[in-house]
Amino acid sequence: MAVRIDDLDRKILAELQRDASQSLDEIAKTVSSSKTPVWNRIRKMRDAGIIGQQTVILDPEALGFEACFFVLIRTSEHEADWQKSFLKALQERPEVLEAHRLAGDIDYILKVRVRNARAYDAFYQALISEVRVHNVTALLSMEEIKSTTALPL
| Contact yes or no for 82/133 (Cβ under 8 A) | no
State in angstroms the smallest separation of the CB of 115 from DNA: 24
| Contact yes or no for 16/24 (Cβ under 8 A) | no
Q: At what angle do helices 35-47 and 7-18 cross, to 10 degrees?
A: 80
Which positions from 62 through 121 interact with DNA, judged by CB under 7 A?
A: none
CB hemisphere CA count around 67 (13 angstroms): 15
Q: How far is CA 60 from CA 8, 28, 67, 112, in A?
A: 34, 33, 9, 12
The interface partner of residue 78, options being DNA, a second copy, none and the CB cut-off 5 to 8 Å by kind, is none
State in angstroms the smallest separation of the CB of 3 from a second copy: 7
Among 38, 99, 127, 133, binds a second copy (CB under 8 A): 99
- Does residue 51 belong to the site contacting a second copy (CB under 8 A)? yes
- Which span sits near a second copy by CB under 8 A: 25-33, 74-82, 106-114, 125-133? 106-114
**In DSSP terms, which residues pair with 109 in a beta bridge?**
72, 100
Site residues (vs a second copy, CB under 8 A):
1-3, 5, 13, 16-21, 48-60, 62-63, 65, 68, 70, 87, 90-91, 94-104, 106, 108-109, 113, 139-153
